[in-house]
Structure 1
Protein backbone atom coordinates (compact mmCIF):
# COMPACT_ATOMS: atom_id res chain seq x y z
CA UNK A 1 0.00 0.00 0.00
CA UNK A 2 2.76 2.41 0.95
CA UNK A 3 4.64 1.55 -2.24
CA UNK A 4 1.63 2.56 -4.37
CA UNK A 5 1.31 5.82 -2.44
CA UNK A 6 4.96 6.64 -3.13
CA UNK A 7 4.50 5.86 -6.82
CA UNK A 8 1.42 8.09 -7.02
CA UNK A 9 3.27 10.84 -5.20
CA UNK A 10 6.24 10.56 -7.60
CA UNK A 11 3.92 10.59 -10.63
CA UNK A 12 2.21 13.67 -9.26
CA UNK A 13 5.54 15.44 -8.76
CA UNK A 14 6.72 14.44 -12.23
CA UNK A 15 3.48 15.72 -13.75
CA UNK A 16 3.84 19.04 -11.96
CA UNK A 17 7.47 19.35 -13.10
CA UNK A 18 6.43 18.69 -16.70
CA UNK A 19 3.61 21.21 -16.49
CA UNK A 20 5.95 23.88 -15.12
CA UNK A 21 8.54 23.18 -17.81
CA UNK A 22 5.86 23.37 -20.48
CA UNK A 23 4.50 26.59 -19.01
CA UNK A 24 8.00 28.09 -18.98
CA UNK A 25 8.48 27.22 -22.65
CA UNK A 26 5.12 28.72 -23.54
CA UNK A 27 5.84 31.87 -21.56
CA UNK A 28 9.19 32.39 -23.31
CA UNK A 29 7.60 31.72 -26.69
CA UNK A 30 4.77 34.19 -26.15
CA UNK A 31 7.26 36.83 -24.98
CA UNK A 32 9.34 36.32 -28.13
CA UNK A 33 6.23 36.57 -30.32
CA UNK A 34 5.09 39.74 -28.53
CA UNK A 35 8.54 41.31 -28.99
CA UNK A 36 8.52 40.37 -32.68
CA UNK A 37 5.06 41.89 -33.19
CA UNK A 38 6.10 45.09 -31.39
CA UNK A 39 9.21 45.39 -33.58
CA UNK A 40 7.13 44.84 -36.71
CA UNK A 41 4.58 47.46 -35.64
CA UNK A 42 7.33 50.01 -35.02
CA UNK A 43 8.97 49.28 -38.37
CA UNK A 44 5.61 49.38 -40.15
CA UNK A 45 4.74 52.74 -38.58
CA UNK A 46 8.09 54.20 -39.60
CA UNK A 47 7.69 52.94 -43.17
CA UNK A 48 4.15 54.31 -43.32
CA UNK A 49 5.30 57.71 -42.09
CA UNK A 50 8.08 57.78 -44.68
CA UNK A 51 5.60 56.82 -47.40
CA UNK A 52 3.21 59.62 -46.45
CA UNK A 53 6.09 62.12 -46.47
CA UNK A 54 7.14 60.87 -49.90
CA UNK A 55 3.55 61.07 -51.13
CA UNK A 56 3.11 64.63 -49.86
CA UNK A 57 6.42 65.69 -51.42
CA UNK A 58 5.42 64.34 -54.83
CA UNK A 59 5.51 66.96 -57.58
CA UNK A 60 3.19 65.11 -59.96
CA UNK A 61 0.34 62.65 -59.85
CA UNK A 62 2.53 60.02 -61.52
CA UNK A 63 5.18 60.16 -58.80
CA UNK A 64 2.43 60.09 -56.15
CA UNK A 65 0.94 56.93 -57.68
CA UNK A 66 4.40 55.40 -57.95
CA UNK A 67 5.17 56.20 -54.31
CA UNK A 68 1.85 54.70 -53.23
CA UNK A 69 2.36 51.57 -55.34
CA UNK A 70 5.86 51.09 -53.92
CA UNK A 71 4.56 51.44 -50.38
CA UNK A 72 1.71 48.97 -50.94
CA UNK A 73 4.08 46.44 -52.50
CA UNK A 74 6.70 46.66 -49.74
CA UNK A 75 4.01 46.65 -47.03
CA UNK A 76 2.40 43.51 -48.43
CA UNK A 77 5.73 41.72 -48.80
CA UNK A 78 6.74 42.75 -45.28
CA UNK A 79 3.40 41.59 -43.86
CA UNK A 80 3.58 38.20 -45.56
CA UNK A 81 7.18 37.74 -44.42
CA UNK A 82 6.31 38.70 -40.86
CA UNK A 83 3.30 36.39 -40.69
CA UNK A 84 5.45 33.54 -42.00
CA UNK A 85 8.03 34.25 -39.31
CA UNK A 86 5.38 34.42 -36.56
CA UNK A 87 3.83 31.20 -37.84
CA UNK A 88 7.20 29.49 -37.52
CA UNK A 89 7.59 30.92 -34.01
CA UNK A 90 4.17 29.53 -33.02
CA UNK A 91 5.12 26.13 -34.44
CA UNK A 92 8.37 26.16 -32.45
CA UNK A 93 6.47 27.22 -29.33
CA UNK A 94 4.08 24.29 -29.73
CA UNK A 95 6.95 21.84 -30.15
CA UNK A 96 8.79 23.21 -27.11
CA UNK A 97 5.66 23.11 -24.94
CA UNK A 98 5.02 19.48 -25.96
CA UNK A 99 8.57 18.21 -25.32
CA UNK A 100 8.17 17.60 -21.57
CA UNK A 101 5.20 15.32 -22.21
CA UNK A 102 6.86 13.11 -24.85
CA UNK A 103 8.33 10.73 -22.27
CA UNK A 104 5.09 10.37 -20.36
CA UNK A 105 3.06 9.66 -23.48
CA UNK A 106 5.59 7.00 -24.43
CA UNK A 107 5.07 5.30 -21.05
CA UNK A 108 1.30 5.12 -21.50
CA UNK A 109 1.64 3.79 -25.02
CA UNK A 110 3.33 0.62 -23.78
Structure 2
Protein backbone atom coordinates (compact mmCIF):
# COMPACT_ATOMS: atom_id res chain seq x y z
CA UNK A 1 0.00 0.00 0.00
CA UNK A 2 1.40 3.41 -0.91
CA UNK A 3 1.46 6.21 1.59
CA UNK A 4 0.41 9.66 0.60
CA UNK A 5 2.78 12.59 0.62
CA UNK A 6 0.97 13.96 3.68
CA UNK A 7 1.52 10.70 5.60
CA UNK A 8 5.22 10.72 4.77
CA UNK A 9 5.49 14.39 5.67
CA UNK A 10 3.75 13.81 9.01
CA UNK A 11 6.01 10.85 9.75
CA UNK A 12 9.08 12.96 8.99
CA UNK A 13 7.82 15.77 11.17
CA UNK A 14 7.05 13.36 14.00
CA UNK A 15 10.52 11.84 13.71
CA UNK A 16 12.13 15.29 13.82
CA UNK A 17 10.11 16.24 16.92
CA UNK A 18 11.08 12.95 18.56
CA UNK A 19 14.72 13.53 17.70
CA UNK A 20 14.71 16.99 19.26
CA UNK A 21 13.03 15.68 22.42
CA UNK A 22 15.59 12.87 22.50
CA UNK A 23 18.46 15.34 22.21
CA UNK A 24 17.05 17.47 25.05
CA UNK A 25 16.63 14.37 27.21
CA UNK A 26 20.19 13.21 26.54
CA UNK A 27 21.58 16.66 27.26
CA UNK A 28 19.76 16.82 30.59
CA UNK A 29 20.90 13.29 31.47
CA UNK A 30 24.54 14.05 30.73
CA UNK A 31 24.35 17.21 32.83
CA UNK A 32 23.01 15.23 35.79
CA UNK A 33 25.71 12.56 35.34
CA UNK A 34 28.48 15.16 35.05
CA UNK A 35 27.30 16.94 38.20
CA UNK A 36 27.13 13.65 40.07
CA UNK A 37 30.63 12.66 38.92
CA UNK A 38 32.04 16.04 39.94
CA UNK A 39 30.39 15.80 43.36
CA UNK A 40 31.76 12.30 43.92
CA UNK A 41 35.25 13.38 42.85
CA UNK A 42 35.17 16.33 45.24
CA UNK A 43 34.04 14.14 48.14
CA UNK A 44 36.66 11.47 47.36
CA UNK A 45 39.40 14.10 47.21
CA UNK A 46 38.28 15.60 50.53
CA UNK A 47 38.20 12.16 52.17
CA UNK A 48 41.68 11.37 50.84
CA UNK A 49 43.04 14.67 52.09
CA UNK A 50 41.51 14.18 55.53
CA UNK A 51 42.98 10.67 55.69
CA UNK A 52 46.42 11.97 54.71
CA UNK A 53 46.23 14.53 57.53
CA UNK A 54 45.27 11.80 59.98
CA UNK A 55 48.13 9.60 58.79
CA UNK A 56 50.63 12.41 59.27
CA UNK A 57 49.50 12.85 62.86
CA UNK A 58 49.33 9.11 63.63
CA UNK A 59 51.07 8.23 66.90
CA UNK A 60 52.04 4.68 65.97
CA UNK A 61 52.26 2.25 63.08
CA UNK A 62 49.19 0.42 64.42
CA UNK A 63 47.24 3.68 64.45
CA UNK A 64 48.36 4.47 60.88
CA UNK A 65 47.33 1.00 59.69
CA UNK A 66 43.93 1.43 61.36
CA UNK A 67 43.44 4.84 59.71
CA UNK A 68 44.42 3.42 56.32
CA UNK A 69 42.14 0.38 56.73
CA UNK A 70 39.19 2.61 57.67
CA UNK A 71 39.86 4.81 54.66
CA UNK A 72 40.12 1.83 52.30
CA UNK A 73 36.83 0.42 53.59
CA UNK A 74 35.03 3.76 53.27
CA UNK A 75 36.53 4.40 49.82
CA UNK A 76 35.45 0.98 48.58
CA UNK A 77 31.92 1.32 49.95
CA UNK A 78 31.65 4.82 48.52
CA UNK A 79 32.86 3.62 45.12
CA UNK A 80 30.36 0.75 45.01
CA UNK A 81 27.52 3.08 46.00
CA UNK A 82 28.59 5.63 43.39
CA UNK A 83 28.91 3.00 40.67
CA UNK A 84 25.40 1.78 41.46
CA UNK A 85 24.06 5.31 41.38
CA UNK A 86 25.79 6.10 38.08
CA UNK A 87 24.46 2.94 36.45
CA UNK A 88 20.95 3.89 37.60
CA UNK A 89 21.40 7.37 36.13
CA UNK A 90 22.56 5.93 32.79
CA UNK A 91 19.64 3.48 32.73
CA UNK A 92 17.17 6.27 33.48
CA UNK A 93 18.73 8.45 30.80
CA UNK A 94 18.36 5.64 28.25
CA UNK A 95 14.68 5.18 29.17
CA UNK A 96 14.03 8.91 28.87
CA UNK A 97 15.88 9.09 25.55
CA UNK A 98 13.76 6.27 24.13
CA UNK A 99 10.40 7.71 25.21
CA UNK A 100 10.02 10.15 22.28
CA UNK A 101 10.40 7.28 19.80
CA UNK A 102 7.96 4.85 21.47
CA UNK A 103 4.95 5.99 19.46
CA UNK A 104 6.84 5.90 16.17
CA UNK A 105 8.10 2.40 16.89
CA UNK A 106 4.59 1.27 17.86
CA UNK A 107 3.19 2.68 14.60
CA UNK A 108 5.89 1.02 12.53
CA UNK A 109 5.36 -2.36 14.19
Please classify the TM superposition score into its range, dividing by the shorter chain length: over 0.9
Partner of 1:96: 96
Q: Residues of 1 paired with 2:60 and 2:27: CA distance?
A: 51
Partner of 2:31: 31
Number of residue pairs matched by the alignment: 107
Q: Residues of 2 paired with 1:7 and 1:88: CA distance?
A: 38
> What's the CA shift string for 1:3-57, capped at 9, x where partnerless?
8222211111110000010111111001000000000000000000000000010
Q: Do residues 6 (structure 1) and 28 (structure 2) align? A: no
Secondary structure of 1:21's aligned partner: helix
Partner of 1:42: 42
Deviation of the 1:104 alpha carbon: 1.0
Partner of 2:60: 60
4+ residue stretches of structure 1 with deviation over 4 A? none
**What 5-or-longer segments of structure 2 have no aligned partner?**
none
**What 5-or-longer segments of structure 1 have no aligned partner?**
none
Partner of 1:80: 80
**TM-score calculated relative to the size of structure 2:** 0.95
